């Protein structure tokens, strides 16, 4: 009705009106405007085809049959190119069978890149051309079926197709087909295949004397690809200290176990246990400590305590006497870390086993509002300092400072200063 109103009350109709209606698939509006002899351009059919609006394409095509040659508008090769790119099979088929504009190599290239197998198959069957982009881009996007289809029909490709197939992990047979043509993978693709755990691809590349960089082993170990790591180690591929550290940090105990059992001469860093501990990979920590002599750093125990990993903390403490880092025992920092993060069960274990507890433990617990930890430390007779109440006020921990006050503990002027500085009005009013 709006279109009718404007048509009845305007002297002309802009060309874009039909074009836009066609793009949106509004067939009734297109018909109405065309019946009123509204102008339009090749954009009308091109845009309708791009959006898969078959009925509009058919209508505009039908109008062409009844117009003089000089009045025909038609479409351009963009119509089939864009329809193919967007997977509009029926539109592509109609344009091919009913019109003469045809398409460019972009139609097949983009249909392949976007994974539209039925469109690719049709365009190949009717003899449409493509460039190396068809295979290369299909490989890059992981469209394995299309890659195989185009290869079997001897479509062109470049080095990029092999690189993407290896990196993404297409079937080893496809990678082998590329390699048999004399292509060689780039270092990036080789390392990516290993990093993503594509073992069969790694084997195929190795048969062609591919050279793996240390990063290949590091990434495979990091992600727990045991099969790839074993294969690379058996074939004397480069391995770094980082590989075992990353495997340990990510809890890949199978990788750690295999590497330790087979190449004990390779050193591991202190960070292996520390990072495994920080991520709660108990099995990795236990295996690593029982089978290697490098030990661990002090922060392993501190971090385990801070994160509440009591089993790991106990294990590390029990093995600290055999550690090369003689300072790797529970310290004030261990207690403070557990208190700061509110890990009461760890704090209790440390206190019950007479581990060091400095003033910072209560301060850290108080300023972070861990009242249950504060109460426990006070009950155990741990030293109180006014910093605890001052810093609790600065962080707005009203309940904590009220409890301290109830227990007869004091603060300094810092409490009010810090509360004011951080805009904790409720604490300011109470103080």
CA–CA separation, 135 and 109 (whole Å): 8
In CATH terms, the fold of domain 358-431 is: 1.25.40
Distance, in Å, from the CA atom of 331 to the CA atom of 376, rounded to the nearest integer, reads 19
Closest CA to 106 of 119, 93, 90, 125: 119
Place of tokens 């495979």: 220
Give the pair of three-digit tokens for residue 73. Answer: 């508008």
Q: How confident is the model at residue 249 (pLDDT cuts 50, 70, 90)?
A: low
Q: Are 277 and 308 in contact (CB under 8 A)?
A: no
pLDDT of residue 277: 46
Domain with CATH 1.25.40.20 in the chain: 158-235, 358-431
For the chain, give the percent of residues with pLDDT over 70.
78
Short-list 181, 112, 198, CA closest to 149: 112
- Supply φ then ψ for residue 417, to 5 degrees: -60, -45
- 3-state DSSP percent of the chain in helix, strand and coil, to 5: 65, 0, 35
Which helix (H) or strand (E) segment holds residue 393: the answer is: helix 386-394
Inter-axis angle of helices 89-98 and 117-125, nearest 10: 20
Lowest-confidence pick of 29-33, 190-194, 245-249: 245-249
pLDDT digits 0-9 by tens, 351-398: 888 777 878 889 999 999 999 999 999 888 888 889 999 999 999 999
Alpha-carbon distance 254 to 21, whole Å? 62
Instruction: Report the pLDDT averaged over residues 24-45.
Output: 89
Phi, psi of 188 (to 5 degrees): -60, -50
Cα(first)–Cα(last) distance of the chain, in Å?
71
Q: What is the DSSP letter of 11?
A: S
Give the mean model confidence (pLDDT) for residues 281-309.
Answer: 59
Whether the predicted model's global pTM rises above the 0.85 cut: no
- Residue 411: pLDDT above 70? yes
CA separation for the pair 243, 249 (Å, rounded): 10
Q: Are 431 and 419 in contact (CB under 8 A)?
A: yes
Tokens of 244: 């075992």
Classify 115 in phi/psi space as left (phi over 0), alpha (psi -120 to 50) or beta: left
Is residue 430's pLDDT more than 50? yes
pLDDT digits (tens, 9 = 90+) for 200-245: 888 888 887 778 888 888 888 777 787 888 788 777 666 666 666 6
How does pLDDT run across 290-300, given as a tens digit for each residue? 545 555 566 67
Confidence check: pLDDT of 34 > 80:
yes
8 Å CB contact between 182 and 206: no
Structure tokens at 158: 């470049």
Q: Which residues contact 153 (CB under 8 A, 6 or more apart)?
A: 124
Model confidence at 311: pLDDT above 60 = yes
Two tokens at 277? Answer: 């501990």
Is 337 or 179 the better-scoring residue by pLDDT?
Answer: 337
CA 200 to chain CA centroid, Å, is: 24
* Rg of the chain, C-alpha, whole Å: 36
Q: How far, CA to CA in Å, does 214 sit from each of 91, 191, 258?
A: 51, 9, 18
pLDDT at 11: 58
pLDDT of residue 60: 93
Average of per-residue pLDDT across 175-197: 81
Pairwise CA distance, residues 146 & 153, whole Å: 11
Q: What angle do CA 400, 401, 404 make, to 5 degrees?
A: 90
CATH 1.25.40.20 is held by the domain 158-235: yes
């Amino acid at each position: 009705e709006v279109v009718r109103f404007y048509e009845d009350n305007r002297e002309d109709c802009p060309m874009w009106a039909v074009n836009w209606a066609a793009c949106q698939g509004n067939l009734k509006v297109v018909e109405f405007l065309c019946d009123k002899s509204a102008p339009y351009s090749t954009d009308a059919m091109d845009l309708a085809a791009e959006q898969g609006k078959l009925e509009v394409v058919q209508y505009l095509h039908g109008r062409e049959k009844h117009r003089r040659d000089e009045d025909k508008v038609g479409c351009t090769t963009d119509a089939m190119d864009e329809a193919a790119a967007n997977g509009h099979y029926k539109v592509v088929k109609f344009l091919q069978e009913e019109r003469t504009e045809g398409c460019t190599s972009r139609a097949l290239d983009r249909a392949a890149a976007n994974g539209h197998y039925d469109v690719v198959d049709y365009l190949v069957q009717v003899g449409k051309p493509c460039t190396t982009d068809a295979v290369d881009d299909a490989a890059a996007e992981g469209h394995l079926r299309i890659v195989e289809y185009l290869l079997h029909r001897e479509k062109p490709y470049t080095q990029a197709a092999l690189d993407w197939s290896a990196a993404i992990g297409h079937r080893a047979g496809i990678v082998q087909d590329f390699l048999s043509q004399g292509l060689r993978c780039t270092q990036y693709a080789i390392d990516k295949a290993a990093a993503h755990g594509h073992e069969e691809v790694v084997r195929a590349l190795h048969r062609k004397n591919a050279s793996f960089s240390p990063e290949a082993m590091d990434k495979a170990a990091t992600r727990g690809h045991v099969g790839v790591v074993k294969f690379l180690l058996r074939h004397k591929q480069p391995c770094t200290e980082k590989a075992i550290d990353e495997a340990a940090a990510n809890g890949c105990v199978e990788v750690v176990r295999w590497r330790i059992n087979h190449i004990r001469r390779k050193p591991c860093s202190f960070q292996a246990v520390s990072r495994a501990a920080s991520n709660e990979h108990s099995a990795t920590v236990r295996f690593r400590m029982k089978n290697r002599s490098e030990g661990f750093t002090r922060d392993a125990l501190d971090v385990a305590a801070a994160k509440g990993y009591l089993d790991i903390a106990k294990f590390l403490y029990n093995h600290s006497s055999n550690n090369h880092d003689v300072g790797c025992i529970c310290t004030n920092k261990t207690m403070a870390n557990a208190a700061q993060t509110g890990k009461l069960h760890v704090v209790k274990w440390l206190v019950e086993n007479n581990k060091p507890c400095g003033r910072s433990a209560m301060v850290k617990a108080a300023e972070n509002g861990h009242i249950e930890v504060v109460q426990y430390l006070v009950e155990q007779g741990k030293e109180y300092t006014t910093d605890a109440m001052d810093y609790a006020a600065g962080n707005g921990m009203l309940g904590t400072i009220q409890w301290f006050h109830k227990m007869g503990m004091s603060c300094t002027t810092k409490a009010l200063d810090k509360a004011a500085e951080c805009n904790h009005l409720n604490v300011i009013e109470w103080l």
